[in-house]
Amino acid sequence: MISLEVHPEIQIQERLERPTFSTCTECHRSFHAKSEDQLCLILCDSCFDAVRNRPEPIVHVHVKARPRRVPVL
């Protein structure tokens, strides 16, 4: 069971509205977020599209060859 205790001294406000303008973390331009994802990443439209359309990274694996052992007779 969950219990909630409310104190009259504590003022609680719920903010559901988005900020009107934010500043992009990449290019430092002001923008208005169109989605929650864009607002969380703090990216303008062009930087957000660049991140979404980024190609898959190429994974390179380098394996060092082990020398062959010569059997002892």
| Residue 46, C-beta contacts closer than 8 angstroms, at least 6 positions apart | 27
Domain ranges of the chain: 22-52
Instruction: For residue 58, name the pLDDT band (cuts at 50, 70, 90).
Output: confident
* Mean of pLDDT values over 45-62: 87
SS3 content of the chain, % helix, strand, coil (to 5): 20, 5, 75
Indicate the pTM of the whole model.
0.49
Over pLDDT 90: what percentage of the chain? 8
Q: What are phi and psi of 61, to 5 degrees?
A: -120, 125
